[in-house]
Structure formats: structure tokens, C-alpha cells
Structure 1
């Protein structure tokens, strides 16, 4: 008869072997993933893909990045961002750097130099770095002269850098208003002269930040975050933010910025707009050729309006257009999966590339290893090209509009 202690050891070893064989011995399969895979983090590792960012270097190469979040990361102490490079217009990618500490950070090119701007961690200090070799090595934000812009608690995502009136602008949120997610975030905008040393904190000024008022919208104004610095048709700066205000999630908040970049103001009675997908991160950019604003959003399609709260519905990615920042038209559904719980095409960062849009997307999808932990906890960073984006229409959608509750395309 086998002693009980030995039997327990045998059973434990068998369990460990079974877990290993089902979790780690499987071969990843990304053949069904829409677009080109830049990076993959299997869900079993407890580290998920966050904060996609992408930009185009002066030599034509693409650079993309994502950070890591989840229970097996150090996102709250010293976060990690991975940087990738493509020299064949997004067909293939290779990792060229791992940057620490960096979280929720945006890649951008300014005056021929590559920068990375964002917090050091989940609600960390605000910093900026520069790379002089296309993303392989980076300066370190050791002090206020070398990239440490502001100490404290800050929140953002890879949001646009805007050039206007001789200054470079960037929306950020202060995160010191309590500890409740969403309500703790207070929008503000940083700016610096375009010819200044962006690594020098003294180059930057910022507006006041606006704390959320729990009485707004009859108590339903629950969060605002991940703001876009945008120039309005009449030439003024606004900060257009994702907001949570109930199950439908189809609105955005507009914070007005003074021309000198020192004062932010908001009127909850006047400064809300209808914006499909407004409860998830979105990026707005202006296209000079069409004289219109464009965005990639996660709308809650009618077929899925009862599947989850609006902020959790990320299974569709749609191209949107507006001429006035107030009225938005859905032009095309560019990514879609019928499952909401474990599939998402979220946090798109994107850039114009001639007649195309190129995008880096935080993607939750099947990978042959059990898929994403859930739609939010993505397992892929993917690249997509929207060719001739200005000509796209609903008939070009990846799913027939009438199959998801929208009017049939013509």
C-alpha cells in the first residue's frame, strides 16, 4: 500500500503536469487574429497588453508600443513599456526596446526626434523621454532638466500631441481627487513652445485641473478620462474626454482651454456631445484634405446593447467622421466579433499615412491557448491598415450593418 504522503506527492505532481501541459505546452495560434500581430502575451502569464501607441519616423519606419498591466506586473510601482519597429510598412515587427518605468505612454515625433510621454506607473509621476536612434535607446527622466515633468499622481492614455499657435499640447488627468476610479480624475492640459527643450520641465505650463462634481447629470456623471487635445473649427483648443454616464455610454465631455493654455473650464449644461463609443478610449485627429475630424471608436451596436455596460462593449471598432466635433457619422465598421466577453478591439492609437490610416490596437482574441482573460485584459497588440480611408462607407464594413441592428447599407 502506498503511504498517504507519497500518494499526495504523486497527485500533486500529476496536477502540476496537467496544468503545464494544458497551459504552456500548447502552441500559440494567431492565424485568426485580424490584422498583423505585433506582440502577444498569453493570458496565463497574468500580464496583459495595454496602451497601444504608434507613430511614423522621418525615415518612414513605424514605431509602436504597449505597456503591461495585470496581477503579475509592477504597473503600480515601476511599469514596463515595450517598443517595436517595422521597416516594411507594418508587415513585420521586431521588439527593439523595453522602457522602465513607463505606463500609459504616447510615442510621437517632434522636430525629427522620437519621444515617449506618460506616467512612470499606474498613477505615477509624469515624464518624457527622447530616443535619438529610432526607439532602441531612451533618455532617463532623472530630474526636472531631463524629463521629470511633474511629480504626483497622473492618469492618461496614448493621446494625441497637438501643434497649434506655436505650441505643442497634451491632455492629461490629475489623479489625486480621492481613490474612486473615474471620479478621482481631473482633466488638465499641458503645453510647451514648439522650439523648447521638451525634456526640461520649465518649458511646460499647464491649466488648472477640474474636479468632477457628483451632482452633474443628476449624479450620473461617473467618470471622465483619456482626453484629446483638439482644435475646434473656430480655432480654439478643447479637451474632448471619454465619459461614463450610464449604460448607453454614447456621450463625451468637452473641456474648454484658454488660448494662453492656462485656464480650463467646463459647463455640464452645455459641454456634452453625443459621441458613439464615448465610454471607451478614442483618439480624434483632423484631416486637412477633407476638412473633417476622424476617430476610431468602440460603438455599442444595437445587437449588443444588452450584453454589458457600455464601457465593457469593445467587440466592434468603427471609423467615425465629423466636420464640427458635435455631429458624428459612422463611416465603416472595420473590426467586429460577435462575442463581447472575450473579444475586444480597444484603445486604438492611429496616424494618417497618406491616403491610409495605420493603427495599433489592444486586441483580445483567440490564440490557441484559451484566448484572452477577458475582453478588457487583452492578449495581443495588433496592427491594422485602413486603405483609402476617406472612401470607406458602411457597405465596406466587415459585418453587414443590418446584422448588428443598424440600417442596411446602400
Structure 2
């Protein structure tokens, strides 16, 4: 048993024995870095005859992107609550949605998702909206992220907001001529020099922008066909598809990629930190998609209390700061942004990544599921194109 776990047990026993008031209990938990939801979850079990922090049953199973958590944060949660977290990674929203629909809360407690996927999860009865006012860390969010209209269900939110960024190309100027249009990606001189993250729906939307679709996530069958043909035309220039965006850095560092076609902002700084070249971002004139993402609690989650406690834990400013320092993209936590602005090493990066401009997040073409049969049509078109 960890020291922090033992201290939490002692605090619970203090309340049960009348030696501590509830206010004193919550104050002590706050000093230990234990969020309001985690502390409340423990107290709710007092009438059940247990006096231990085992009130938070685990393990906690999360289906998540690899840039939504950090090892120090997971270790601290284990030390504080005694709950181990099992992480399963995914790359495409459609895959996470399908898996959650298949196994539900029996195997998944928390799932990550992009902006307009949240309503799809809720409409399918897969997740429970959250009362953000119950989370101490939610008070640290930018106000705009506490009131996302398309996540609202009454006074609750489908997601706990996490991060956002435009998805744009980056290029190595040692080999690539500066450009401002997606059309440059099709130049034969970049044969097998482009790397992309394998996100079929979003790549099809990107190809829709190439071919002039006005609503890239709501394309007609004819527009999907045109986007598919564009991807077929691009295929000779694609070196590989990666499963997670963190893998992009190595391709620029080792020189095998000259262009990353769908990276979020901050890649240039991450490549530089890794000793790679000074790569350049492109904001294509055709427009660009972006993500605004977060976490959802799966309906009938087997470890719901632990899920709620982890969300409050991981969204604390101190952990958000660590995540920014590693990932270098904008997040939803305003308190963390202000802390970073006080650090000379990161102050300029806060502005360069748009972290201090949260309103931009809602002006992007946000990721979402195509309506009706569109989701299957997008994925089928992508698979057919890369199989050619």
C-alpha cells in the first residue's frame, strides 16, 4: 500500500470516528492533490461498512489516444487511490465508437472522442453526460469550454474537454518548396515522402477539401467518389500511415519523410526538441479540419466512481502543464495556460500553438461522424483507395 493510499484510509477513518469534519476531510484531500470527485466517491461508501480507499474499485479501463495521458499522472492516481489504469489505444474515432458499441461499460469505463462524435455516442445511448460542476478541475477550464453547445444535454456535458488544434501539413524546407495548397502534395517529386496518421474518415474529409467539397464531413456520394479518386492519386506519394500522431517526429528526424500531411499544431517544435530539422506549417487555402476532443464516461461503466475520480485527477492544471510540455498543442485548461505563460521556456509556445486563443477552436471545421450511411461510405472509400 502506498503512503498516500494509507493517508487517505486514515482520513476516512477519521470521519467515521468523528475526529474529522467533512470540511476538514475535503481540505486534507485537497492538500494531497485528491480531487473533489475522488474524495466524494470515498465518502459515499461510509455507510457501507468499508473504511478504505478501496471505495474506488478498479482497474479503470480507458480507451484513449496516447497524448491524453502521461505516466507521472497515472502513477500519482495509483498512489493516491490504489486504482490501476489499463490504457487501450486507438487512432480512428470510428474504431473507438464501434468497440464501445460492442462491449460497452463491461470492458470500457472511459473513452476519448472528437468534437461532433460526442453527440453520436450520446444519441446511441453509449455514454452518460457529466455534471462538470462536480469536478474541481473543471473550474480551471476556459469558460468557452464549459459551455460547448453541441455537447450540452440539459445542464450536463457529454465530454470533459481536453485539447484542440488545427490539423495541417508540415514540410521540411530542405527538400520541399513552400506551398499554400493541398495540390502540392500530389507533385511526383514527393513520391514516397509523405506520412499520414491513419484516420480514414478525416483523410477522406481532407481529400474532400482538395476536391472542393463545401462540407467535408457531409459529402454526397459524388463528392465521396471524387475524394476517393484524389486519395488514389495521392497514394504513390504516401510512404506510410502511422497509428498515433506521436510517431510523426521520428520520420522528420531520420529524414525519411519530407511532408507530414495531417499533423496538429506544435509538430515543428516537437521535431526541433528531438534534434530534427526546422519544419514549417502550412494553412492550406482550401481550409483545414481541426479537433476539439475530450473524455466520456461509458454508460453502465463497471468502475464509474474511479472513472469520475480519474477525470478530476488528470485534468488538474499541474498534469495539463506536463502534457503541454510534451505534446505542444492547445488544451482546454486555462489555469495551466497561465502557469505556462509564467515560464520563459514555454511562454512563446503558448501563443504559437494558439493555446491563449481558445475561441479559434470553434471556428475550425470540426471532426465528426458523417451522417447516416455516410460513415460506412467514407471508410469503404478509404479502404478501396489504399488497396489500389
Compute the TM-score of the two structures, normalised by the length of structure 2. 0.25
Q: Which has the higher helix share?
A: 2
Q: Which has the higher strand share?
A: 1
Higher relative contact order (CA closer than 8 Å, sequence separation 6+): 2
